[in-house]
Structure formats: structure tokens, C-alpha cells
Chain A
Amino acid sequence: MRSVWALAATAALSLLAFSTATFAGEPKQGGILRVYHRDSPANASILEGATYSINVPFMGVFNNLVIYDQHIAQNSPDTLRPELAESWSWSSDNKKLTFKLRQGVKWHDGKPFTSADVKCTFDLLMGKAQQKLRQNPRKAWYNEVNDVTPNGDFEVSFDLKRPQPSLLAMLASGYTPIYPCHVSPADMRTHPIGTGPFKFVEFKANESIKLTRNPDYWRKGRPYLDGIEYTIITNRSTAILAFVAGKFDMTFPTHITIPLLKDIKSQAPNAVCVVEPTNVSTNIIVNSASPPFDNIDIRRAMALALDRKAFVDILFEGKADIGGTMLPPPQGIWGMPKDKLETIPGYGPDVNANREEAKKLMQKAGYGPDKHLAVKVSTRNLAEYRDPAVILIDQLKSIYIDGELDVVETANWFPKVARKDYMLGLNLTGNSVDDPDQSFYENYSCGSERNYTNYCNREIEKLFDAQSQEIDTNKRKQLVWDIDKKLQEDVARPIIFHARAGTCWQPYVKGITIMSNSSYNGFRYEDVWLDK
């Protein structure tokens, strides 16, 4: 009899343990997610923004036609999911992309969402609308789109000039929310209206951004959170201390540098921290329009002199990536494999051999131990720009180049670069979508506004179009690798490294996924919940 009781007690305890385990893992409704924000964004309009200071807090207000799966860290064509579109299909010639839209979706002010809103949004982005965006940094993403046509209230087609499979990648970016027709672009800057899981409450510049749960969200049972509060704290030390003291549930995404991560883990050992690439490359822009860098030998010598591993070791304690234009694998989808990368001059592991070759090129150009080349290395007055610039100057010494740091205020940086008033520049390039179309056309295409160095190679331009139209992903990858290799060999914009950064949250925050190949596409937060 005693054994029967013991068996029953064991069974009851097991059941209890099982139930507790189940309940502990089940999402709970409620609570405000408290996050600090690194700075005060200019406004709340994602379409006009070019920094994730805007799309981190406001991405949850909106929906896209399609979105990258918010629970899979790597954005890829395989992780595209429908959102305001229920499905999509390509025409047989791959020149028409049709979306069937979700019905019954309402804007936060109660008005119904229809295909007209999709047309309005893309007319704005393509510069066809009567009203204009104050800024339109991603207009080039839609260069291949002829028109966006509604077919009834719940279907819309994108007519393309030529096949462009990666259009879907652009549409899935956090930078491509659908805006309502009935709200002006100016109002969207101060009081954004979306269809997303969170409604905008208020934005006090330099103070806070508040969002509240959208009770009429089309995805029933979501979001779990009652709201999200961003407190703007521009001083990084204060912000991190406040996180350690428990004032915040989460740090601003990718705001923690590798050296600071140790401090956080020592003061808040329970914090969950992840380190991921930000898909921001640190690179050199070269003014090849005027001496001395109009000489290809000097440009190549400079590229050969780089010791990329030293940059990574000093600035990131070894935790950053070396690659070409595209983010290197395994996090990057399109980056060159290591063996191909190491065939590019300057990427070989023997730095001394590379530098000997560089010295020969410098001597050919008329420089040597007795005649050094004096250059100015211009960069922005921010630590993430200044620090690598100092290392670059130190490395250039090894090949008879004496660099002088020229620190430029943000307001003057772009005009200075645009009027080619620099020799060398230490630059950061952020890629909002890990896709070659975004990177190549924005940064390297002839005449592109973001092609700071005016690099223009008609042969490569043809290859840009070839990879862009290629439907077969494997074939496209081979083309992309070849292009990337050529860009490095041409010293178009030598890539030094791809940065990584940390994000931390308290252990009771569940459902957070930090994207591993984009800093821009993972902040919908409708599945995030607080286990407390």
C-alpha cells in the first residue's frame, strides 16, 4: 500500500513539474518593455530615416507587405514571410510581382487598409506622389519598378522593367513599412499611424518614445506586451549603469561594444547578452580623382598595407569579421568564402609579404625611406570612426606614408566628401538588407548618390545587372563573389572589417531575436513577452 502512495505522489510531483515547465515557457500577456534609446531620432518617419535610431522604436507601429521571420536571426530569401500580403506570386517572365492582401486590417485610427495604401506608399518612395517625402534615401531600391497597380481593394501588382528577384528582400526590410494614404508625410513625422502591433503614444525629443498595445491588431492575441517605453539616454555610461541597476529590461540593440560587454556581465551576471554582426563595414574611401591617389599603384599599395586582423584584435578583442563588400559567411548570405577572399591582394595571411609588395609599388611611384608621402586621413568626429583611423595611420607608416588625422564634424563630413575635398577618408557603410542589389547599386553604381568616391566601371555595371536578374541563387552567388573580388582589386572602397556589437536583456525578457546580418529588420516585437 505504501508503495502505491509513493507511486501516486511521484506521479503527482512529475505532473506538477511538467505543468510548471509548460507554464514557464508559455508567453504571458502584459507588462511594458523598458528600453533605453541611444539618441533622439530626428522624427518618427521610417521612410525618411537613414538610421536605425528611427526604425528600432517605430518598426512596431507598422507592417510591411512581407517581412523577414522575426524569430530567425539570419535574414535570407528562405525566411521571407507574408505580413500585410497573404501571399505573392511572380509572372512567368518574372517582371510582375503580385500580392494578395490581408482583409479586415485597420489603421490605428480605425480606417480600413486597402491596396490604395500600398500604391500611395510606393508612389511616395518612387517620387510619383503629389506629396513628397522630406528625404527619400532609398528611392534607388525601386529603380526597376515601372508602376504599382491596385487590382481591386485587396490585390496589388508591381510591374518591373526587368526581373529583379531581390525586390522582395527590399520589401521585407524594416525600412519599408506601408504608410496610410489618408495621413500626410508631415504628420507621419510627428504622429505616425500604422497597422502594426503597437500604437504611437508620444515622442518627446531627448526624453522618451512611448508605444502602447494595439488592441485591434489583425494578428489575434498579439502583441503580448502592453507597451514599449524608450527612454532616451545619450550618455552610454549612464545608460549601461541604468540597465545594470534594473531600470531597463533591455539595452538599445547593438549598442554594447565588445570591451563594455565584460563590464555588464561582471555587474549583471544574469543578463542575457548576444554579439552579432551589424552589417556595417568600416572602409576607406579614396579620392582617386586627384593626386596622389589617382595613381593606381599607390591605391593598391595602401590596400596591401592593411593588417585587418590587427584592427579586429585591437578594436573588437578579435570578435569582428574580415570580408569584402558583402558581409562574410556564416552570418552573411552573399559574402565570399575564405579561400576566395584570401586570393585578393592584401587579404593573404602574410602581412609582411603584402607590405613588401606594397613598398615596391610605392618605390615605383617615387616614394621610399627617404621620401615619404604625406596624406590627410579625414574622418568623422565619432569614436567608431576616429579609433580605426588612428590604427590606419599607424599601419600606413610601414609603407612610407605619413598620415595626419583630419577630424570632421558630422555636419561638414558629407559636403566635404561630396566636393572631393579629401585624400583618404575613414568611412562606415551600413547595409540595411543583406542583399547585393542594395549594396552594389547604392555604393558602387555609376552616378549613385551614395557612391562617395564616384567609382564607375562600366564592365562591373553590367555584372551588377546580371546578378540582379539571376533567379538561381547559387549562380547569383558566384556572380556576386566575382564582382566583390573585382571591387576589392580595383580598390574601389577597401573594406577593413565588418563590425560586431552586443545587445543585452534581462533574463525575464523572452522572444527577442537579434538579427545576425542586419541591424534594421528585427524590431516588430509582437512576440516579445515578459516572464515575470
Chain B
Amino acid sequence: MFAYLVRRLLLMLVTLFGISVVIFFLLRIVPGNIVDILFAAAGYVDPADKIDLEKQLGIDQPLVIQYLHWISGLLHGDLGYSYVSEKPALQEILPRIPITARLAGLALLFSASIGIPLGVISAVKQGTRLDYALRVVSLSGLSLPSFWLGLLILTAAVAMFGQIPIFNPNPATWLEAFATYAVPAAAVGFRSAALTMRITRSSMLEVLRQDYIRTARAKGASETAVNYQHALKNAILPVITVIGIEAAFLIGGLIVTETVFNIPGVARFLVEAIRWRDYPIVQNLVMLVAVVVVSANFIVDMLYAVFDPRIRYTD
């Protein structure tokens, strides 16, 4: 197991190196740089000023030099300066991380705490009205885009209560704090909850047909014990995989949700930075996302071993 862990960690490092190369060079392939965009916005171009600015920002140097400069800075904890705000990239990125992390964490919690129990209930009550109702909920969750759901929530809040849950960096009450994170987390987490519900249901249905479940019932185990101790424990592995993958894909939903609810998190910031071709922000943020995704995969792999003793990786 230890050797597997070490090998897995080394693989992570190689993956991250590969990603850094891809991010850096892909970003440079995209047409236009910040200088083009600034002058496009100004509606004129002065070639001499353009060259000056490119020199100031260091984007006139060969790409390999720029890449090495970035990586060496990264290893020394120096993320460079934002081209737009001219502040250190770390100073720009750092305060936004907890906001998105809280939102993503809550969304995943929402997804697991709603999706898994409802999936189990749906499977156990297969073919009943409750099952059909839950399947409709799950299908709608997969069909509704999070920006539409977000706008629906905002419109309903204004129409019914004359209030709008817009991000408040300094919430005065618990209710405001709750509204700040819970509502957008529900909007973005609804899709993952629906997916989790579907996977839990189908996985449970498969397990419930197994011989050992029949044996458990024959031995006189209660329905709750059969469903949760015997069935769910074995049905949970695909669910964990899905939640892990969802953690990685959540960033897409967060971009939209942060825009709709006006939350100053990293996801929305990333889109703005791409719009400006603010390379130091984009490459560091995408790298951060890559680290999160790779780590999520790593954690899922480790959880496999914990939940299923048969999966103990050996040399």
C-alpha cells in the first residue's frame, strides 16, 4: 500500500508538470494578448507603445524563457503580477479561494447529503409513486442549467420576498451568511445531487438483487440494516467515483453560479482573467484547479481502499 501511495504521488507530480506545459502553451496559442485587448478596447493602436508594453510585461521574450520564468517563480512561491491590476497574483487569488472552496464544499455536501439518501429511498421503493417522483426530481436536476436555476431563484426571491440573495462579504446575521452561500450552493449542487441520486439508485438496485442480500434477510436482519449496512456499503463505490468526478467538474458550474449570484470567487475571476489574457492569473488559477482535480482523484482512489477491503493495492 505504501509503495502504491508513493507511486501515485509521483504520478501526480508528472501529471501536474504535463498540465503546466499544456496550460502555458495553449494559453499562448489563443489569439490576442493583453496588449492587443487593451488597444482594441481603446480603438487605436500605436505600434511603438505596443512594443513598449509587451516589453514591460515580459511577453516579448521567447515562450520557453517565459515558461521557465513562471515555473521557477512558482517553485519559489512567486506567482508573478496580474497584468490588469498590477498587484501580486497571489494577493489577487488568495482571498478568493476560501469563497469558492466554501461554495464548492457546500455544493458537494448538498449533493451527497441529498443525493445518497434519496437514491437509496428511490431504489428501496422501486416502482412506487415516491420512486417516480424522485426520478422526476433527479431528471430535472440533470436537465436544468445552473444559471437558469440561479436566475429562477433570484427572480422568485425578489417577487415573493422583495429580497435578493446577493453575495455579502460581511454578513450581519446568520440568515444573511446562510443566504450568501447556501442558496448558490444549492443552485450549483442540484445537478450533482441529481446525478448522485441516479447513480446511488442504480447501484443500490444492482446490489439489492445479490445473493448475500437475500442471505442477510434470511438471517433475519432488519430492512434498515440490510439497506444501509449490507447494500449501501457495497453500492457506494460508484457513488464515490461520481462525487469525485463531480468535484472536478464543479468548476464549470461555479463559474456560472458565481456570475449569477455575483460571488467574487476564483471561478468567475478565472473567466475575467481569460477575457483579459491576464496570463499570470490564468495559468496559476488553472494550475490550482488541476491540483484540486488531481488531488480529488487521488483521494477517491484512497477511499476505494478504505471502503472496500478487497481493493488493497499491493506491489
Interfacial residues, chain A to chain B (CB-CB below 8 A): 40, 42-43, 48-51, 132, 134-137, 186, 189-190, 204-207, 231-235, 237-238, 241-242, 244-247, 267, 409-415, 418, 449-450
B268 near A409: Cβ-Cβ < 8 Å: no
- Cα of A43 to Cα of B42 in the assembled complex, Å: 13
Q: Which of B176-213 contact A (CB under 8 A)?
A: none
A100 to chain B, nearest CB (A): 33
With A136-B49, A238-B154, A415-B32 as given contacts, are A205 and B86 in contact (CB-CB < 8 Å)?
no
> 0/1 per residue, B271-314, Cβ < 8 Å to A?
01001110000000000000000000000000000000000000
B193 to chain A, nearest CB (A): 23
A135 near B49: Cβ-Cβ < 8 Å: yes
The interface centre, meaning the residue of B36, B44, B84 with most chain A CB atoms within 10 A of its CB, is: B44
A301 to chain B, nearest CB (A): 28
B46 near A449: Cβ-Cβ < 8 Å: yes
Instruction: Look across to chain B and name the residue whose beta carbon is closest to the beta carbon of A140.
Output: B44
Tell yes or no: B38 within 8 A of A by CB.
yes
B168 to chain A, nearest CB (A): 10
B86 near A189: Cβ-Cβ < 8 Å: yes
A455 to chain B, nearest CB (A): 15
Number of A-B contacts (CB under 8 A): 117
Tell yes or no: B225 within 8 A of A by CB.
no
With A135-B49, A238-B166, A449-B46 as given contacts, are A43 and B84 in contact (CB-CB < 8 Å)?
yes
- Cα of A207 to Cα of B170 in the assembled complex, Å: 13
B53 near A449: Cβ-Cβ < 8 Å: no
Q: Which residues of B contact A449 (CB under 8 A)?
A: 43-46
We find that the number of chain B residues with CB closer than 8 angstroms to chain A is 44
B37 near A411: Cβ-Cβ < 8 Å: yes
Q: Which residues of B contact A235 (CB under 8 A)?
A: 259-260, 262
Q: Which residues of B contact A135 (CB under 8 A)?
A: 38-39, 42, 49
Q: Which residues of A contact B277 (CB under 8 A)?
A: 411
A228 to chain B, nearest CB (A): 18
Give me 6 other A-B pairs in contact (C-beta within 8 A), A246-B162, A410-B37, A410-B275 excluded.
A132-B52, A232-B262, A235-B260, A241-B154, A245-B162, A450-B43
Q: Which residues of B contact A413 (CB under 8 A)?
A: 40
Which listed residue, B44, B159, B163, B268, touches A450 by the CB 8 Å rule? B44
Q: Which of B83-108 contact A (CB under 8 A)?
A: 84-87, 92
A190 to chain B, nearest CB (A): 6
Which listed residue, B31, B82, B166, touches A411 by the CB 8 Å rule? B31
Q: List 26 A-B contacts (CB under 8 A).
A: A40-B272, A42-B84, A42-B276, A43-B84, A43-B85, A132-B49, A135-B38, A186-B86, A206-B264, A207-B169, A235-B260, A235-B262, A237-B154, A238-B261, A241-B155, A242-B164, A242-B262, A245-B163, A245-B164, A247-B164, A247-B166, A410-B275, A411-B32, A411-B40, A412-B32, A450-B43
> 0/1 per residue, B133-149, Cβ < 8 Å to A?
00000000000000000
The interface centre, meaning the residue of B85, B162, B169, B275 with most chain A CB atoms within 10 A of its CB, is: B85
Tell yes or no: B64 within 8 A of A by CB.
no
A-B residue pairs, 10 tightest by C-beta: A411-B32, A449-B44, A414-B40, A50-B42, A245-B164, A137-B42, A207-B264, A233-B262, A245-B158, A411-B37
Tell yes or no: B269 within 8 A of A by CB.
yes
The interface centre, meaning the residue of A49, A186, A206, A238 with most chain B CB atoms within 10 A of its CB, is: A206
B259 to chain A, nearest CB (A): 5
B264 near A204: Cβ-Cβ < 8 Å: yes
